[in-house]
Amino acid sequence: MSAEPAQPDPVRHRDHGTWLVQFTGRILVVCPRCGGRALVAPRPGIEAPKYFSALLFQPRRLVCAGCGAVADWTAEERGRGLVGVVPGGTEDPFFRRPLWLQTRCAGRILWAYDEGHVDALAAYVGARLRERRASPTMAMFARLPAWMKSAERRDEVLAGLAALRALAGLSAPADRSDAAHERGDRPRHHGSVLFRGGPY
């Protein structure tokens, strides 16, 4: 009799140092042309990066399946280096488009990049016991706002994340959340530079 695969513990969450940048490979945004759901992803034909930090510099393409809008992004060149983006906030870091996955929650705006990001947040918020296995310096969960980590807000935040998960399956302009509009609250650029041929 074969053993059943181990299932994640819904009560316990172990943080191994997941960075927000790890969720930038696929970002759902509001289309600049029609207002429906568009996708920001690495340009086709580009090799997967060796280190996930390289996602901050990787060329991107915005595509809307609804209206056919297409746009490309490449990292700014500075001398011999490339200037990377800074993830975070309610806009995507590449095209500065409002995120599609946004909803009002606990008097604030709850957002995520895609369904995988929503699932990761739900696993953390829903856990009764949270263990940190890595430095909190760049770890996503350690940097979440206090209201999202509060046990008193758990049910409210989980309901908000369920709303985001439902939004991920919608794509028409009329499906857009009333929270998904331009705010200009994306973190300011810190000037991180990747030198060509050098380490990340």
Strand-pair category, 193-195 with 27-30: unpaired
Confidence of residue 13 (pLDDT cuts 50, 70, 90): low
**Per-residue pLDDT averaged across 3-15, rounded?**
57
Task: State the virtual CA torsion across 94, 96, 99, 102 in degrees, nearest 10.
Answer: 130
Tokens of 79: 């001398």
Sorted by sequence, the CB contacts under 8 Å of residue 38 that are 6+ apart come out as 28, 29, 30, 31, 32, 62, 63, 64, 65, 66, 69, 97, 100
Stronger pLDDT, 47 or 35, i.e. the higher one: 35
Inter-CA distances, 136 with 24, 38, 162, Å: 19, 32, 26
Q: Is residue 188 pLDDT above 80, yes or no?
A: no
Confidence of residue 39 (pLDDT cuts 50, 70, 90): very high
**Per-residue pLDDT averaged across 99-109, rounded?**
96
pLDDT of residue 49: 78
